[in-house]
């Protein structure tokens, strides 16, 4: 009657594989959480950099300001016509 021992061996092998998969999954989850922490830090740094941007008053979004030119000269984007 070797059949019960064969099934017990298969069951033990399945349990070993299940434990190995659980350990692998735990490592992957910890790596994921570490990457999410880094992403949150980078988002905070990006938000801080964006908060430092100063938008000049009295200018529309379509005007370009070149620092080496006269500030009273307004340069606008040209839209090509067909």
> pLDDT tens, 22-58?
999 999 999 999 999 999 999 999 999 999 887 766 5
Asked if residues 63 and 75 have their Cβ atoms less than 8 Å apart, the reply is: yes
What residues does 75 pair with on adjacent strands?
64
- Domain segments of the chain as ranges: 3-76
Q: Looking at residue 80, what is its pLDDT?
A: 65
> What global pTM score does this model have?
0.53
Tokens representing 43 are: 């988002």
Place of tokens 């017990």: 8
* CA 65/CA 72 separation, integer angstroms: 9
Confidence check: pLDDT of 12 > 90:
yes
């Amino acid at each position: 009657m070797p059949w019960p021992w064969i099934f017990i061996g298969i069951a033990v092998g399945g349990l070993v594989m299940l434990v190995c998969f659980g350990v692998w999954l735990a490592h992957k989850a910890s790596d994921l959480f570490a990457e999410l922490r880094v992403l949150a830090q980078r988002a905070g740094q990006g938000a801080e950099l964006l908060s430092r941007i100063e938008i000049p008053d009295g200018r529309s979004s379509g005007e370009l300001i070149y620092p080496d030119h006269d500030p009273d000269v307004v340069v606008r984007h040209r839209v090509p016509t067909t």
